A and B are shown apart, each in its own frame.
Chain A
């Protein structure tokens, strides 16, 4: 079955550490997105990528980095520069023509300990 796989489901980070969240899709979608979800804040866009080796900052990119070396993969690194990283992180993808519907992964909950 096609879909988006995010891993791990739960992640704990110590202060000052970088952590990488994985997002893999087998839908042959062109565009991929990272959103951050906090209670009462909705979904806020961190980064997105329309094609391999290209990505754009979203509204809250500070303290995060991404790469898009393969069409199927769009990992997100939460760096030590992100002062408040505890949140639920969602990866999404869509086919970049015709159907505009996003497919979301099941999310990664990151907690700073």
Chain B
């Protein structure tokens, strides 16, 4: 119930291509779904987040698609660049509920080849 399942574990994309990372959850009480980007030796940084009242959110080349009925959400990186090579984590939590913390997926290592 508390898990967030992320796939694929690793991804290689050509420069200019689209990178797609998928996540699934079981706990229907989750209502906050962020994506974090992490470079080697650094802490994760918030990339983009979505609440389930919308099905899609776009910020620049990054888009979250959310399917509430399927309990799935995905990150799309358009026009992928070598600088996007990093590890990406999806996460889920209950918005603003005291005593809760983000549950993270296991991460996807993205390599964008030039």
Contact = CB atoms under 8 A, between A and B. Distances in A.
B96 A106 contact: no
Interface in A19-33: 33
Contacts of B96: 97-98, 100
A102 B89 contact: no
Interface of B: 6, 9, 32, 34, 36, 41-46, 49, 89, 93, 95-96, 98-99, 101-107
Contacts of B9: 40
17 contacts: A40-B9, A40-B106, A41-B106, A42-B104, A42-B106, A45-B101, A45-B102, A45-B103, A48-B101, A90-B43, A100-B32, A102-B44, A104-B36, A104-B43, A106-B42, A106-B43, A109-B41
A45 B93 CA distance: 13
B73 to A, nearest CB: 16
Contacts, number: 59
B106 A107 contact: no
B89 A101 contact: no
A102 B46 contact: yes
Contacts of A100: 32, 34, 49, 93, 95-96
Interface of A: 4, 6, 33, 35, 40-45, 48, 50, 56, 58, 90, 92, 96-98, 100-102, 104-107, 109
Contact of B44 (A6, A48, A90): A90
A97 B97 CA distance: 9
